[in-house]
Amino acid sequence: MAQASYKSPGLSPGTLVYVGDKTAEATRISVVDFTNDDIEEASDVPIDDLQMFLKRDSVTWITVSGIQDVDVIEDIGKLCGLHPLILEDVVNTNHRPKMDAFDDYFFLILKLPLLDSSDGSLALEHICMVVGKGFIISFEEMEGEIFTPIRDRLWHSKGRIRRYGADYLAYALIDMVVDHYFEVLEEVGEEIETIQESVLDHPEPGILSEIQNLRHKLVLLRKSIWPQREVLSSLLRGESEMIDEKILLYYQDVYDHVIQVADTVETNRDQMSGILEIYISSVSIKMNEVMKVLTIIATLFIPLTFLAGVYGMNFKYMPELEWHYSYPLFWGMVLACLCAMLIWFKRNRWL
C-alpha cells in the first residue's frame, strides 16, 4: 500500500501522519542523564520511566529513534507536556527546518545530510529537538550512529559539555549536524572538480545527467541550509530564553559555520551553471570543427568530381578527349585547384 506523503486536505491539524518512506522500525527510547560528576545511560527505556529522569536535578537527554509509530510519539508528547503541533512536525519528515519558542522549551527541526556511499545519492535525515531547562528530547528517523560521538564525549570528557546545561548540549548537537554539511560539501566539491576537468578535456553526453544530479544535490543542500540559518539567527536574537547569555557565543560560532556552508553551496551552484555553459559551448565548438572538416573535404572534391564527370561524358565531338596531353593537364588542373583552395582555407584560419 502506498504511503501518503502529505496529510490529506481536511484532516484535523495535530493529526499525526508519518510521511517518510523508511520501512517501519520500532520506536526506541534511550536516555543519557548527567551532572558534572555523574553520568548514567539507559537504552530501551519504557515511556513511563521518562518522568523519573526528567524530575531529577540533572541534564537529561532523551533520544527517540524511529518515529513511524505515531502512537508512541503521541504518548511521549503527552508525558513531556509538548504541544500537539510539535508532534505533528516531528513525524512530518518533509517539514523544513524551523524554530518554535514556547515558554518552557524551544523546538528545533534540523536536516542532517547523508551521502549514500553506494550510489552517491544524498538523503536529508529529519532531526527534531526539544530543548528545555535541564532536558533535551531528540528525535531521529532511524536508530543510527549519528549522535554517538556526542554520547562518547559526554562519557569521556569532563569539559564544558558536562559543566554547562542543556543549552550547551543542544549547541553540541547542532554543531555536529552542521559539521556533516562540511563533509558532504567536500565530496560534492570533488565531484564538481572531476566534472569540470572532463568537460574541458573530453565532453561526453553522459556528463549531462551527472551535472543534473549534482545540481539536484546542491538544490537539496541549499533548501535545507537556508532555513537552518534562520533558525540559528532567531536563536541568536534571543527569541527563546532557554539559552544562557554565556552560551550564545557558541551559537554565534555555529551560525558562522552555517553561513559558510550556505556560501559554499551558492558558490558551487554558480560553478555548476558555469560548467553547463562551458559544456554547451564546447559541444558547439566540437560541432564547428566537425563541420569544418566536412566543408573542407566537400569543397575540395565536389568541383573536382564535377570535372571528372565532364570528361566521362560520351559526346561524340569533345575535342579535349583526343588531345595527347589532356590527362596530365587534367591532373595539373586538379592540383592547382587543390592548392588554391588550401591557400584560401589557410587565409580564413580554417586550417
273-302 positions binding a copy of itself, by CB under 8 A: 274, 276-288, 290-295, 297-299, 301-302
Which of residues 75, 234, 330, 337 is near a copy of itself by CB under 8 A? 330
- Alpha carbon distance 72, 77 (integer Å): 9
CB of 103 to a copy of itself, least distance (A): 12
Q: How many residues bind a copy of itself (CB under 8 A)?
A: 113
- For a copy of itself, the binding residues in 142-161 under the rule CB under 8 A are 148-150, 152-153, 157, 159-161
Instruction: Build a one-symbol-per-residue string for 87-126: x at contacts with a copy of itself by CB under 8 A, - elsewhere.
Output: -x-----xxx-x-x--------------------------
Grid cell of 246 as nine digits: 554565556
Asked if 79 and 72 touch (Cβ cutoff 8 Å), the reply is: no
Among 42, 79, 249, 343, which residue sits at the site for a copy of itself (rule: CB under 8 A)? 249
Q: Binding of a copy of itself at residue 351 (CB under 8 A)?
A: no
Q: What phi, psi does 144 have (nearest 5°)?
A: -140, -175
Name the minimum Å distance from CB 57 to a copy of itself: 25
Determine if residue 123 is left, alpha or beta; phi over 0 gives left, psi from -120 to 50 gives alpha, anything else beta.
Answer: beta
Considering only residues 171 through 210, tell me which ones interact with a copy of itself, judged by CB under 8 A: 171-172, 175-177, 179-180, 182-183, 186, 196, 200, 202, 205, 208-209
CA distance 107 to 30: 19
Q: Which of 253, 335, 336, 340 binds a copy of itself (CB under 8 A)?
A: 253
User: Rounded to whole angstroms, how far apart are CA atoms 108 and 119?
Assistant: 30
143-148 own/partner pairs: CB under 8 Å, 24+ apart: 143/25, 143/28, 143/65, 143/66, 144/65, 146/112, 146/176, 147/63, 147/173, 147/176
Selected from 46, 237, 245, 324, the binder of a copy of itself by CB under 8 A is: 324
Pick out residues in 215-244 that bind a copy of itself (CB under 8 A): 215-216, 219, 223
Q: Enumerate residues 126-145 that contact a copy of itself by CB under 8 A.
A: none
Q: β-strands 59-65, 105-115: how paired?
A: unpaired
Pick 24 or 313: Cβ nearer a copy of itself: 313
Asked whether 128 and 174 are in contact (CB, 8 A), the reply is no
